[in-house]
Structure 1
Amino acid sequence: MAEHTLRTRAARRSGWSRAGDALLTVLAAAGALCIVLVILAFTLNISLIMFSTGSMSPAIPAGSVALVREIPATEIEVGDVVTVDRAEGLPVTHRVTEVLDADGEQVTFTMQGDANADPDPAPYTVSQVRLVLGSVPHVASVIVRFQDPVVLGSLTLAAATLVTWAFWPRRTADPETEPRAGNQADPARAGSGPAHRA
């Protein structure tokens, strides 16, 4: 009976250990991804942008997150999807439809959203753009949720608890040192040996 209990406890510990290892692996992968993104941001001018509208659907639907790289405007070509900063209003990310003029580093071009019936109202003249390298749909809402202080604090606390649990020293049960059912004294048998005369 005692051996069965020890095996059950060991199996439970093993299950929790596997779950903890899996969570630690996920956290390590997420941390590594963050480090890679930071390195890319500083070395290659790569960053993330979120799409709140569906003007680039179906290629880039609303709620997508895109990886973009800042490049000189002289490198853009017709068909590229680029983000342009505007003096007034939010940046716009649409597809280049025509390159009109180039004056040194300044390039004038037109753009249009894939889902829009008409091109953008006026051409853009800029020296730098952010070229869309790729996108992942339906991720923006998750990233926005992670920016919530309560969610971020809870995740940090959970991660700290998990790491502490993973590296906390454990006492392994040794079956040889555990009491066994057969070694326990049986009161019913006390005095049941051969009778001795005084």
Structure 2
Amino acid sequence: MSTSTRHAAPGSDAGRRSLTDRALNAVLNLAAAGGALCIVLVVLAVVFDISLILFRTGSMEPAIAQGSLAVVREVPASEVGVGDVVTVERGERLPITHRVTSIEPAADGRWEITMQGDANPGPDPAPYSVTTVRLVLFSIPGLARPVAALNSPWVLGGVTLAVSALVVWALWPRARSTAGAHSTEDTEDTEDTV
């Protein structure tokens, strides 16, 4: 029984296509890992009541610089202490994130919290009556603008198109290349007659 095998030359188109396919597969695997990470982060955020706060002002400098992104966790107001940096809701106005200067129990399970920005000369005008607050766990300087840009319809549309194109590419049927494929030819054993 004899077999013959043909291989693609190292510099052939099949070798280049194989390298391109490997690069695109790596991108696809990276995107899949990123997607899985996003799913895990969303589940953790929901389970632990974690969200993000973007600092557009410098009222908390130098502790938290303007343009920082902070990771916050919703907690009962009773768990907050003087010196903690918390975010409180203010009805129709934007939430505010400042340092707690005093906290006192109030009626109906509410707490009166007085706060002041580190860069502000005095405390906020009035105490906040709350049952829950968002406690700042940590902040990362300079990430507010890039994260805010991700909310842009142009960025979201571009990401959607890129991911769609990647999925279509991954699922698109491929023609089998004969140049790069290994082919074997089997021959049957025959008896030679003399």
Same fold? TM cut 0.5: yes
Q: Tell me which structure has the larger Cα radius of gyration.
A: 1
Maintained 8 Å contact 1:73/1:105:
no
Alignment partner, residue 78 of structure 2: 74
Matches within 5 A, 1:15-164: 15-99=19-103, 101-103=104-106, 105-164=109-168
Greater CA deviation, 165-174 or 119-128? 165-174
Quick one: higher RCO (CA 8 Å, sep 6+), 1 or 2?
2
CA shift at 1:117, angstroms?
Answer: 2.6
* Structure holding more strand per residue: 2
Distance in 1 separating the partners of 2:38 and 2:182:
47
**1:11-36 deviation digits (Å, cap 9, x = unpaired):** 53344234323432442233223322
CA drift at 1:85: 0.5
Tell me if the contact between 1:46 and 1:67 (Cα under 8 Å) persists in the aligned partners.
yes
Instruction: Tell me the amino acid that sits aligned with residue 141 of structure 1.
Output: R
Gapped runs of 5+ residues in structure 1?
Answer: 178-198
Contact persistence 1:84–1:93 (CA under 8 A):
yes
Residue type at the aligned position of 1:174: G
Percent identical residues: 55
Give how far 1:120 is off: 1.6
Unaligned 5+ runs, structure 2: 1-7, 184-194
Q: Once superposed, which parts of structure 1, at least 4 consecutive aligned residues long, lie more than 4 Å away? A: none
**Structure 1 residue identity aligned to 2:129:** T
Change beyond 3 A, Cα 1:16–1:116: farther
Report Cα offsets for 1:91-119 as digits up to 9, x if no partner. Answer: 100111222x2135211122111222322
Q: 1:88 to 1:158 in 2, by over 3 A?
A: closer
Judge conservation of contact 1:37–1:47 (CA < 8 Å) in 2. no
Q: Is the 8 A contact 1:50 1:63 kept in 2?
A: yes
Once superposed, what is the RMSD of the aligned Cα atoms?
Answer: 2.5
Distance 1:121 1:106 in 2: 19
Q: Which moved more, 1:22-31 or 1:127-136?
A: 22-31
Q: Would you say how many aligned residue pairs link Structure 1 and Structure 2?
A: 174
Question: If the length of structure 2 is used for normalisation, what is the TM-score?
Answer: 0.76
1:24–1:139 distance in 2 versus 1, CA, 3 Å: farther
8 Å CA contact 1:57, 1:114 repeated in 2: yes
Conservation of the 8 A alpha-carbon contact between 2:14 and 2:180: no
Distance in 2 of aligned mates of 1:161 and 1:175: 27
TM-score (norm 1): 0.74
Q: Quote the offset at 1:127 in angstroms.
A: 1.0
How far 1:175 moved relative to its partner?
6.7
